[in-house]
Amino acid sequence: MDLLNTLVDKGLRREQPTREEALAVLATSDDELLDVVAAAGKVRRHWFGRRVKLNYLVNLKSGLCPEDCSYCSQRLGSKADILKYTWLKPDEASKAAAAGLAGGAKRVCLVASGRGPTDRDVDRVSETIKAIKEQNEDVEVCACLGLLSDGQAERLREAGADAYNHNLNTSESTYGDITTTHTYADRVDTVQKAHAAGLSACSGLIAGMGESDEDLVDVVFSLRELDPDSVPVNFLIPFEGTPLAKEWNLTPQRCLRILAMVRFVCPDVEVRIAGGREVHLRSMQPLALHLANSIFLGDYLTSEGQAGKADLEMIADAGFEVEGAGEVTLPEHRAHAGGGCGSHADAGCGAHEGAGCGSHEGAGCGSHEGGGICGTAAAAPSAAEPRTDLVAVRRRGAGTDLAPNA
């Protein structure tokens, strides 16, 4: 397929595809799906080999968020029956992180619900970061605390944070449809603050909220321009008790096409399969490892994930290997750029000319015949069969007396 050959060539050169090419990936037919996965897999292996980075979420403060993000089980007015608790103490958070690290994770993502941290909250998280790093010197720590005020990113960096996550989630043109208590520009500003402080920026999206193909391409192109080192791709978990509880728009095949499109647009960044992979990819999860080079281990913020042991078995059975603590995730030209765990240049993600966390639950936190380039997106896919049996509220780990899933 000429389209896929073109996209592989561009991906190996870190050259940005056109919008029409990105849309065409989303519009490919199910008959072409394995060809799409194989092509994007060439780009993934070129930059990341067969390594899979494991990340582990610690929900420092769950529920009771004043923001109204429609996708979030912790939102203002949420009726989802999730765990609710205030800040974990540093030793509690460190103990929770240790479980993920023992399971093979090399990055711990510290998440707290809310619009953004107060200065006192930054102090709390700084103490937690120090407690974790005292016990695990080589661990990467990513904070996800919502919108940052001036100077807070620098303080987190000084405390030992390596990265900061703040997702764009969807396109600028539709952002107001899912959230009214802050703006898309607020989110962009926080990612830029993380960059400026020398933190490795992590920013991604949520698919499955009723968005169009154009919306998906818009947000991924915006992410490329912002140039994060890692791009988490969340698939909406339609929690009962949230405004998007009835949005079951994803199939495993569509999820794979979305991941492939992200890989082609951001070829040399850490593409992470985040929340919802078990719900929407299901038995197709191993195929997604050919597209993404990073996953979360075990549970998410407010929902249960696949058993940690099953994650490790899946990686091995698919012919991949867990990335070791001593291995550098990013390609050399990104890892030597000078910030965080492998930082940024001024060019978009995948560009880096000459240049040496996010699960969506708490981010306060059609076919195309012939496979040619199509200037318009395919019609929205028909709703997938709801799999509410796969949406389980987390009842173990942080905030409980039960052992975590790691």
In the residue annotation, 224 being an active-site residue is answered as no
Q: Which of 14, 44, 65, 357 is catalytic?
A: 65
| Run of H or E residues at 371 | none
What 3-state DSSP class applies to 231? strand
What are the backbone angles phi and psi of residue 118, rounded to the nearest 5°? Answer: -80, 170
In the residue annotation, 357 being an active-site residue is answered as no
In the residue annotation, 109 being an active-site residue is answered as yes
Rg for the chain (alpha carbons), in Å? 19
> How far is 97 from 106, CA to CA, in rounded Å?
10
Q: Which of 14, 75, 107, 109 is catalytic?
A: 109
Among the listed residues 63, 79, 2, 37, the one whose alpha carbon sits nearest the alpha carbon of residue 256 = 37
Q: Given 3-state DSSP classes, what are the helix, strand and coil percentages for the chain, each rounded to the nearest 5?
A: 40, 15, 50
Known binding residues for [4Fe-4S] cluster = 65, 69, 72
Residue listed under structure tokens 């990013």: 330
Q: Which of 272, 277, 334, 394 is catalytic?
A: 272
Where residue 319 falls (left for φ over 0; alpha for ψ -120 to 50; beta otherwise) is: left
Q: Do the strands 205-207 and 200-202 form a parallel or antiparallel pair, or are they unpaired?
A: unpaired
In the residue annotation, 144 being an active-site residue is answered as no
Known binding residues for [2Fe-2S] cluster = 109, 142, 202, 272
What are the backbone angles phi and psi of residue 203, rounded to the nearest 5°? Answer: -155, 135
How many Cβ atoms sit within 10 Å of the Cβ of residue 326? Answer: 7
| Residue-wise burial string across 1-21, b where 16 or more C-beta atoms lie within 10 A, e elsewhere | eebbebbbebbeebebbeeeb
In the residue annotation, 374 being an active-site residue is answered as no
| Run of H or E residues at 340 | none
Known binding residues = 65, 69, 72, 109, 142, 202, 272
Q: Which of 69, 255, 357, 374 is catalytic?
A: 69
Q: What angle do CA 161, 110, 295 make, to 5 degrees?
A: 100
> How far is 9 from 17, CA to CA, in rounded Å?
10
- Helical ranges in 88-151 per DSSP H: 90-102, 119-135
| Run of H or E residues at 165 | strand 163-165
Q: Which of 144, 202, 357, 374 is catalytic?
A: 202
Among the listed residues 251, 210, 217, the one whose alpha carbon sits nearest the alpha carbon of residue 380 = 210
Q: Which of 44, 72, 157, 266 is catalytic?
A: 72
Q: Which of 14, 44, 107, 142 is catalytic?
A: 142
How many Cβ atoms sit within 10 Å of the Cβ of residue 115? Answer: 16
In the residue annotation, 69 being an active-site residue is answered as yes
- Catalytically active residues are 65, 69, 72, 109, 142, 202, 272
